[in-house]
Structure 1
């Protein structure tokens, strides 16, 4: 629930001049909404503490939008010293993660068979799950970025700087926004980050570099000189130095070879390798980073986490070491796989990781736990965290709004579809775009757009429209605004989207057995006997269906994904809370099964397989199970079940 608005500037006044003097080259119809949003401020929502990892709470993982996270930081008086962001590139692509089935511990096989299972083809063992869509109207994207960048600037300390990672799709436009927000004089570098290419481009040079814009907030920004270990570890090829070294040449040959060198005569290859030691001189970093220790991650790398847009630790190491000092706060507001937070922790900095997707929070949480980092996990209560990410929530809406169907006659800019009523006929349905934080709050600007632009384009036979909202600025005020300004005959009904979404969230089914190991306080053992997830099974059914259609078209055989009766191969993580009965989660014992089915016990990686059990020293109060798609279910441990087990054992 929204609490209030936080101004972008500490001394914002109504009609502040900066809001009316935007020089952005793109003048578009949605600028009125942007100006209204800037005057209004950043929406501050209630936040819930989900989990405490470790003892200290100076580091944060926040599930929520950049805008609402910045409002939270502003409200708490938290300033950051370095920002790295790798936001969507407006590339027009959908991004998905690989979802892997795990080894079922109830299937008793020899180790060789288990190894064979791990080496199964990806087609037989995994499927893809959409994480987010990078599909934007250019104008909407730039206005969204303008708001986010302004929000980020508002939480930056006076000695902070920002690195904005983009590519050729949109970078040149965002550069204009950055000049406006941070000032042209505060532009420091345009960094070209190149990466490998195989083959040649078709009809163009291979597009194999990103652009990172580096801005300072003021002249007091941090920049450590290159002598502070930010030198290339693998410098440019043209810096090789060759010098003769006779120490490895047999004595009987030395005189002959020295004479050959003087006379510039050819030397046998076997002596060339011994004679000339190639080495590199110190080469200072320029603004083109290519083929060095910042090189991208490849599949199979020890860093690789199956996250599509994951960046290498070497890239963030260079940025963080150069533009911050120890104990400073490093923030990433589009955190992804958590590389900025992980590297910041390794370099003895504090970190703030923000992302709207639950998978990002989970991957980063597990990554940081293995590094023994201390942090809090917070969730912004903005109404869009009901599913794994906003794009899944948008997809889900089409099935949870009763009677909603696609309608090609309606403008997709405004209407998600329509409902047919026996008396009123076609009823268009408006739903806010959850991918765009600005549209989630149903306010006067939204209402005016619907009244002036959306409704007039409708067929004259339309008598009613339904408008769903996640948050509404003031419902009574909006209803009065509609009453006074609605010059059409169309009735507008307002409905709360959160109430609708709350009714469709289902937890996974979990069965377990709990027993005390002995009477002398040796601890407790919990066994998962059955696990079932309708949400994951739906994904698997869709995957098998698509593969079957492909088989019928091209004749290529495939092995359908099959799940055992116990369903344990759908589990990614099991955690026991022995401390709290409700509220904030405390993971007192934890087992994570990676995509190769190897187990991490309480942050310690092993080459063992999960046996279907988890142990803890004290009596567990709650059980959390995360499925392979990222859904987490929490249930209270049934004390009665434990008592019955103890009675049976007696």
Structure 2
């Protein structure tokens, strides 16, 4: 069964994924690639926020979580502990070390859930790839290293006082020698095709001439003179390529290997597969362009472009990778029906590629926004796909647990649960009392806006309602919804009632301010709302917002590209996911 988990991948890997149950792992762990080395290696006293991997933030700091991950690895002993301990002694306690400690703990768990025939691809930035390779050598054994794949992700990237960085690194490991391997072919580039510059007089096909001999002399038939051509004199011997055996059988229906060795050369000549240079050079054979399947895939990939601003598959997710990149990896290192795992699945490109190629999949992400985005992507592109979502609060206890672990993810989840279409993503600085927005059509009065405020604490009071009333007035919004984890007090309910009704409403009497609890939402009791727009329809602005830092996003037409304002995340239900 396909599964999508909302939560910390370390916990999910330890508690929810069975050992040796996964065939292929791809991970693109968040990393602050834009940070300078001075920042990454600065000693950290732990005063900064804990290591975190948010949907649009990939910074790491040494703190309690990083220290706990380091301690977990030390307790595991073995080569990984030795490698990590040596790095800490050299690097110190800083952002880079926090990242490596968190990764080491997860790589150990990923190794355990991988089948003996499985493989792992770690997608990383050159700033950290060499450190991660040391960890991977320790986790999987240096003998199981397969490739460092270079993916040229951009055509130009100017950089002062150094060569422009244009590539990412994919570190590819098998768990054992039995790791699945399906060779992939890469199409010839235009420059290579120019080698097929000769035209066959019989068929009119383009071909290139290739050596019919191999290095070294032989005393048997392959070393004998044929039609005046003496391979021994050139220090070589006759060596028809396997291509010729296949081509001959395709033309004649006979097997070339049924003939005596030198007779094989006669047969190749009779069928027009040999080339005799006009200048009297040594005989060669013809390789036709129409038969050329391409070249075996190498470890430098330049034929897959990064997602640009006009790409159809673009979802506005900053670390989104092209689906063709994941399809290549999945096709190479797994078979139909195998299980593919992405523990940092972000916008779900791995899941999309796995679904297209007939694989089962497991996705894990720590942000609720990513989970909603993936869910919408699956529904849009693969509506018949069966899958389960784990980790979303299903009762009051699990909602309280989420609020305790991460108040921001709790706010996103609660706002989404009541119908928010956009969320405040910024963690730093004041959110100005807005945790989410609902937009709706308000008939002759234009476009309506409902502001959502979420309170995840156990102590609530009337000032929270007064604050939301102030935000509604400041933002010139029609309505507001206050979502509480705790039960509201009577003064709070009176204050909400005193806010009255929407002054201009095309949908009858609508309360201007409503209070709802998480428990009520989980039990199916929703606030009174106007009809919400169908995803894919567009609202046209009737006025400019007074606060330029707040919502300016509108619901797009199907296929329309949108660029979110800083700090705002668009709900994927209202983004076209075609292609």
Bigger fraction of residues in strand: 1
- Superposition TM-score, scaled by structure 2 size: 0.48
> RCO (CA 8 Å, sep 6+): is it higher in 1 or 2?
1
TM-score under structure 1 length normalisation: 0.44
